[in-house]
Chains A and B, each alone.
Chain A
Amino acid sequence: NAGVTQTPKFRILKIGQSMTLQCTQDMNHNYMYWYRQDPGMGLKLIYYSVGAGITDKGEVPNGYNVSRSTTEDFPLRLELAAPSQTSVYFCASSYRTSGRSSSYNEQFFGPGTRLTVL
């Protein structure tokens, strides 16, 4: 299994440009997440999805959009890039069953995308 893969690894955008950060997982996880991490800080949740067709906002959703048309893919869209969106973006996934007998649903993270907006 490749786990969680993200593309691109690095990207430089100009203010006002748009782009899509790709995230794919091959573990058949139902839950997926997007985080951003600013220098020296912890991760902040942008958006998450509990299954295909279902998405919801996290702590810092402004300026971003997501979609979840398949179990495997969870792209993050930046429509009008701003310098404040310069950050490292991590995608993660986890699996949760409906019963409480399941083990802890650990999140598996991708390698990240380093985005700079100039």
Chain B
Amino acid sequence: LAKTTQPISMDSYEGQEVNITCSHNNIATNDYITWYQQFPSQGPRFIIQGYKTKVTNEVASLFIPADRKSSTLSLPRVSLSDTAVYYCLVGARYGGATNKLIFGTGTLLAVQP
């Protein structure tokens, strides 16, 4: 599975748009990019997944450039409740035969009032 690199932490204020970038230089042709969110004292929760260009859902947008060596998770108008750790994962859409996920250390997003 491709290794990912993310900033350890980011700060923001309520109402701002937050962009978290993930580097994955060794991404394979069949790999998808998936983001999970983890609140303190809870298990991770799936946010969004994409392969190329742009994906948007009710929570976030995911931007993937043509070379796919990086991706950016965009959170519009964050609130205090968006304070969490965000994990970028790269791997086969179906995780291979076992759907295994490889978590890095993630990015701690701290939203201030």
Q: How far is the CB of A60 from chain B (nearest CB, A)?
A: 12
Neighbouring A residues of B42 by C-beta, 8 Å: 109, 111-112
Contact of B101 among A40, A41, A45, A112 (CB under 8 A): A45
In chain B between 52 and 94, which residues have their CB closer than 8 angstroms to a CB of chain A? 87, 93-94
Q: A104-B49, A105-B95, A111-B43 are in contact. Are A42 and B100 (CB under 8 A)?
A: no
A-B contact pairs, 23 of them (CB 8 A): A31-B98, A31-B99, A40-B105, A41-B105, A42-B104, A42-B106, A44-B103, A45-B100, A45-B102, A48-B98, A56-B98, A58-B100, A90-B44, A96-B94, A96-B99, A104-B49, A104-B93, A105-B94, A105-B95, A107-B46, A109-B44, A109-B45, A111-B43
Name the interface residues of B25-48: CB closer than 8 Å to any CB of A: 32, 34, 41-46
Closest to B32 in A: A104
Chain B: interface size category: 20 to 34
Chain A residues within 8 Å of B45, by CB:
109
**Interface residues of B, dominant DSSP:** loop
| In the complex, number of A-B residue pairs with CB atoms less than 8 Å apart | 58
User: Chain B residues in contact with chain A, CB under 8 A?
Assistant: 32, 34, 41-46, 49, 87, 93-95, 97-106
Q: How far is the CA of A34 from the CA of B102 in the complex (A)?
A: 13
Most buried by A among B45, B49, B93, B94: B94
* A70-114 near B? 1/0 per residue, CB < 8 Å: 000000000000000000001010101000101011110111100
A43 within 8 A of partner (CB): yes
